[in-house]
Amino acid sequence: MTRRLLRTLLLALPLSAGLVLPAFTQQTVVIPTRVIYPGETVTADSLEDVPLRRQLKNVAAVAVDRHQLEGKIARRTLLPGRMIPVTSVREAHLVTAGSPVQVLFVHGALEISVAGVPLQHGAAGDLIKVRNLDTGAVFSGVVMIDGTIRVSAT
Helix (H) / strand (E) element for 16: namely helix 3-16
Domain tally, the chain: 2
Residue at which a domain ends, from 70, 90, 110: 90
CATH number at residue 118: 2.30.30.760
**Closest among 62, 74, 8, 72 to 31, alpha carbons compared:** 62
Residue 17, domain member (yes or no): no
For residues 78 and 42, state if they share a domain.
yes
Beta-ladder partners of 31? 48
Structural domain of 81: 28-90
Q: What is the mean pLDDT of each run of 10 residues along the chain (154 residues)?
A: 54 51 66 94 92 79 88 93 92 92 91 94 93 94 94 78
Q: What is the pLDDT at residue 153?
A: 74
Pairing label, strands 110-118, 127-132: antiparallel
pTM, rounded to two decimals: 0.63
Residue at which a domain ends, from 90, 109, 132: 90
